[in-house]
Amino acid sequence: MVHLWDADDVSGGWLAANVTGYQGSDWDTYLLFGPDATWTSKPAPLRHSGSPVDHQIDELRQALDPLLATP
């Protein structure tokens, strides 16, 4: 396992400021993008996000279910 710590929160701050539809904290957060997502200058489209992750497990599971369902 690798743990990368961004002490100045450069990556989290950028995501919070640049991902359309994301209105959460940039700490202890998940951002869910589907198979249609692209990342040219900014990642999009955002399907779901939540924070803190440990309090959002059920919401994350519900957001993932359609993406994991077999066609």
Q: What's the pLDDT score for residue 45?
A: 94
Asked if pLDDT for residue 65 goes beyond 90, the answer is yes
DSSP 2-40: -----TT-HHHHHHHHHSTT--S-SSS-EEEEEEEEEES
Query: What average pLDDT score do residues 58-62 get?
Result: 94
The bridge status of strand 43-50 relative to strand 30-39 is: antiparallel
Q: Which two tokens stand for residue 43?
A: 């990642």
* pTM (global) more than 0.85: no
Q: What's the pLDDT score for residue 38?
A: 93
Query: What average pLDDT score do residues 58-67 get?
Result: 93
Distance CA(16)–CA(57), nearest Å, equals: 20
Contact (Cβ atoms closer than 8 angstroms) between residue 15 and residue 42: no
Domain coordinates in residue numbering, the chain: 10-68
Q: What is the pLDDT of residues 1-45, one digit of tens each?
A: 788 888 888 888 888 889 998 876 667 888 999 999 998 899 999
